[in-house]
Structure 1
């Protein structure tokens, strides 16, 4: 195992600090809109899901790095708030699709917009973020 240099530790520390600053600011933005950070992430992953306008529970659990049952509970709470809904797939009746509803779409767009200044700051500090 190769030993890490002082600069390596500084770089890791700086990265973790910037991520934490971003996370804290994000939590406050979400809270100001009446959402938890996880509810926002659910909406964000649905809005940003590649190639289609919905995702399965398993796909969302992976994106959230969460257990299946915890993702189901998050979807239940978000559904009760009118942010998302479950739909049986037209092509595979065994598959349940999670769709973003207009209220959820409006919230995710507003919250994402408020993240722009911090995202721009992160892009300057870490150029590989496009």
Structure 2
């Protein structure tokens, strides 16, 4: 991590090396666990213990992903005594995710079938014409 000279915030080495902010934003949202955390925080602030229980995740997993989302400026927390309450810093993030859902609906969820990024990534390719697995 390095310090951004304009905002004084920590940024990853990738951003410092030239990754565009848009690519960094989408990279931060490319993890299903982080998306689940964001979706939960859209309903209101939560503590780590709340998130671990509601999402059935380990405390260390939640903390790691919250740290990533904080580094990206997407979430922050407020301290109340010994507790930290996490919340979205930019509720308009949910507009972005709603637009993504509309795009997925319009494309027939073709992204999920993408041989590079979809759920079948690294497995046998699908036939382009049919979207089905080749018959052996």
User: Normalising by the residue count of structure 1, what TM-score does the alignment of the two structures yield?
Assistant: 0.53
Could you tell me how far 1:70 is from its partner in structure 2?
1.0
Equivalent pairs, count:
80
Give the equivalent residue in structure 2 for 1:111.
97
CA distance in structure 1 between the aligned counterparts of 2:33 and 2:98, rounded to whole angstroms: 14
CA distance in structure 2 between the aligned counterparts of 1:47 and 1:61, rounded to whole angstroms: 16
What secondary structure sits across from 1:54 in the alignment? Answer: coil
Whose RCO is larger (CA < 8 A, sep 6+)? 1
- Note if contact 1:33-1:107 (Cα within 8 Å) is conserved in structure 2: no
Unmatched 5+ stretches in structure 2: 1-24, 109-136
Unmatched 5+ stretches in structure 1: 1-31, 122-130
Give the equivalent residue in structure 2 for 1:40.
35
Deviation by residue 1:77-117 (Cα, 9 ceiling, x = unmatched): 1100101112102xxx0211001101xx2223211343256
- Note if contact 1:42-1:60 (Cα within 8 Å) is conserved in structure 2: yes
- Note if contact 1:47-1:100 (Cα within 8 Å) is conserved in structure 2: yes
Deviation by residue 1:33-91 (Cα, 9 ceiling, x = unmatched): 3312221111110002xxxx3111111112221001110111111100101112102xx
What secondary structure sits across from 2:65 in the alignment? Answer: helix
Q: Which runs of 4+ in 1 moved over 3 A?
A: none
CA distance in structure 2 between the aligned counterparts of 1:63 and 1:111, rounded to whole angstroms: 20
Q: As a proportion of its length, which structure holds more helix?
A: 1
What does residue range 17-56 of structure 1 map to in structure 2 within 5 Å?
A: 33-34=26-27, 35=29, 36-48=31-43, 53-56=44-47
